[in-house]
Structure 1
Amino acid sequence: MTTHPKGGRARMKPSTILFDVNETLSDMSPMAERFIEAGAPADLAKLWFATLLRDGFALTAAGDNGAFADIGAEALRGLFAGMELARGREAAVEHVMAGLAGLGLHEDVPDGVKALKAAGYRLTTLSNGSTQLAENLLSSAGLRESFERLLSVEDAQSWKPGKAAYEYAASACGAGTDELLLVAVHPWDIHGAARAGLGTAWINRPGGQYPAYFQAPDYTVSGLDELAAALA
């Protein structure tokens, strides 16, 4: 499914496409196996990631900027407290966190990246996680050379969806916010980028409903491999 802008903002064609990394490019489903190996329920993986994001957003709202890995590890310690694990709690935390470095891409990503690069767009990542995770992810897939730069909010004043994160990306790319298009699976990221003046493209792989309380995306696609055609 691909939908195009309708009845909303008139936008110039973007020069640079920003990609969220966690869940947008990376397939995080293998993290469930990491929890099982640690002796915890598989469905705790989703709760952990939601907790990580919640606390990162709370720090941002309070004017702080916490490190993704530090928040993730501490959230795990809280979730694992009092639980009978297959290994010591700290070893379990380390085992789960190490899984982030070994994730692969969603199957629609390689063709999507290649098509967008061939269409002449400048490609950049903007993650609430570290640049090293993005480096590992893209390098292992042979796509690192398609990206001009890898950006992290660790170098910005706030996490996404704070406005400062998107303004930092625009400055790093030497572009105005209206020249950028953010691609993400997270509606909260789409909303934040739209509020900061960026164009937006929502990847809706599961075919879910977009929350009405967030600003609607300019484009909706079911896979990244549809985006170049939607932008043409």
Structure 2
Amino acid sequence: MPHRPELVVFDVNETLTDLSPLRDRLESVSAPRHLLDSWFAATLRDGFALTSVGAYADFADVAKAALRTALAGLGAGFADEAKREEAVAEVLSGFPALDVHPDVPAGLRRLHGAGVRLVTLTNGSAELSRGAFERAGVLDLFERRLSVSEPRRWKPAPEPYLWAVGECGVPADRAALIAVHPWDTDGAARAGLTSAWIDRSGTPFPAVFLSPDVTGPDLPAVVEALLALDQA
């Protein structure tokens, strides 16, 4: 039975930060806006694949490789290697400029005000999110910003979740993971954390994954559901 968490671990990309401005970056290099979806999915796929065979690469390196492949697949416009590399650099330079979703600050402040400890755990670089959190005025709400670069295993492998809660000195069953990704909530649940899913797009939760303990259409709704759980 899930408990009201002492610690909430947040995914970052798409959960807290809005990736949609990267569509403008793609368009600026003459790539289609919709390429963001398949590129980001390919980045996750390749990171997961490396983890599954006991290997590791940083998010930035995996994202670069996946974007090079995606751009090359667009045809003659990206046949020139130098042009591809310029486009890759331009698109990736947009990550530090991303902002948080509009619903994020209120949800974070509600949790923090309720005495719940907050940390992030990202498959990407922990430092990339600093600007987004500073601009939103929420950086100081997080006691730590963690990355899978330490355990060198991408989520949803169990090691990153268990490492994160261990670093914070909290048992897994007294922590929760909030994410928009069903694979992430599933991984956290299998590692023993309470799982919380933000469904901003109103899509069905994939039946192949463990159902999340709480769900909501935005972060404040998910926060209230977590705070309503039994404290025993």
Taking the TM superposition and a 5 Å limit, the aligned residue runs for 1:212-227 are: 212-227=207-222
Check if 1:172 corresponds to 2:172: no
1:22 corresponding residue in structure 2: 13
CA distance in 2, matches of 1:98, 1:54: 21
1:149 corresponding residue in structure 2: 144
- The CA deviation at 1:12 is 2.6
Instruction: In structure 1, give the amino acid aligned to 2:52.
Output: A
Question: Which of 47, 52, 65 is residue 74 of structure 1 equivalent to?
Answer: 65
Question: Which of 180, 183, 205 is residue 210 of structure 1 equivalent to?
Answer: 205
CA distance in 2, matches of 1:146, 1:34: 30
Q: Is the 8 A contact 2:10 2:121 kept in 1?
A: yes
- The CA deviation at 1:228 is 3.0
Structure 1: state its 5+ residue gaps: 1-9
Question: Which of 152, 157, 160 is residue 162 of structure 1 equivalent to?
Answer: 157
- The CA deviation at 1:11 is 2.3
What TM-score, normalized by structure 1, do the two folds share?
0.93
Question: Which of 48, 52, 60 is residue 57 of structure 1 equivalent to?
Answer: 48
Q: Is the 8 A contact 1:135 1:150 kept in 2?
A: no
1:224–1:76 distance in 2 versus 1, CA, 3 Å: same
- Mean Cα displacement is larger for which, 74-83 or 128-137? 74-83
- The CA deviation at 1:18 is 0.4
Q: Is the 8 A contact 2:43 2:63 kept in 1?
A: yes
Check if 1:118 corresponds to 2:113: yes
**1:51-90 per-position Cα deviation (integer Å, ceiling 9, x unaligned):** 0000000000011121000000111111112441598111
1:198–1:89 distance in 2 versus 1, CA, 3 Å: same
1:44 corresponding residue in structure 2: 35
CA distance in 2, matches of 1:52, 1:217: 24
Taking the TM superposition and a 5 Å limit, the aligned residue runs for 1:84-103 are: 84-85=77-78, 88-103=83-98
Alignment: residue pair count: 223
- Mean Cα displacement is larger for which, 132-141 or 110-119? 132-141
Structure 2: state its 5+ residue gaps: none
CA distance in 2, matches of 1:221, 1:150: 24
Q: Is the 8 A contact 2:2 2:213 kept in 1?
A: no
What TM-score, normalized by structure 2, do the two folds share?
0.93
